[in-house]
Amino acid sequence: MELHRVLLTTAASAALVFGALAGVGAGTAEAQSPPEPPSRFAGSVTIDGQPAPAGTVIEARVGTSTCGSATVFTQGGQARYVIDVASAASQPGCGTAGAAVTFVVGGAVAPQSGTWRNYELAQLDLALVSASPTPTASPSPTATPRPPVAGTGVAAAGGPSAWWVISMAALASLGFAGMGWAAYRRS
């Protein structure tokens, strides 16, 4: 009779463990690849040999698609810009490895262009010569450039991981089996 009870306890513990293992596949999260980072360009901006006014809008284009925009800011007495040019994966028609990037400063196309590479910072100084008066600064505040977001990942939606549940079930079954074995040995 005692042996029967030990076997029944062990079988129930094993059923708990295997039941927990069977449910693991349903609750796991699949890994997602992070989004492709943009190509970043930075440099100085001059118009007719003078620093461009702070707030002048700069657009980065790949073909006919506008893939990024920024405004000129002043740093150390220089007019500067930092612009992220989106990838084709994040914005259709935008950057792919080796694509030509053109820049539009205050509505005028800059004679300088760059190459889309998202693995390095591209230093590119923009120098425009215009026949028209220098564009005026817009009254909007200058945005501080931020690094691109590389993505986020969440393994589970706030719940305990499946391995933690399996470990606790295995420990519980081991404890029940040990109690059954001890009861068997006492009789």
Q: What is the 3-state secondary structure (H, E, C) of 23-74?
A: CHHHHCCCCCCCCCCCEEEEEEEEECCEECCCCCEEEEEECCEEEEEEECEE
Predicted structure pTM score: 0.55
Radius of gyration (C-alpha) of the chain in whole angstroms: 31
Residue 71 has pLDDT above 50, yes or no: yes
Sequence ranges of the domains in the chain: 2-24+161-186, 39-128
- Classified by CATH at the fold level, domain 39-128 comes out as Immunoglobulin-like (2.60.40)
- Residue 70 amino acid letter: A
At residue 135, the pLDDT reads 58
Look up residue 86 and give its DSSP letter: -
Query: Average model confidence (pLDDT) for the chain?
Result: 79
Query: pLDDT digits over 133-177, tens only?
Result: 555 666 666 666 666 655 544 444 455 566 656 777 777 777 777
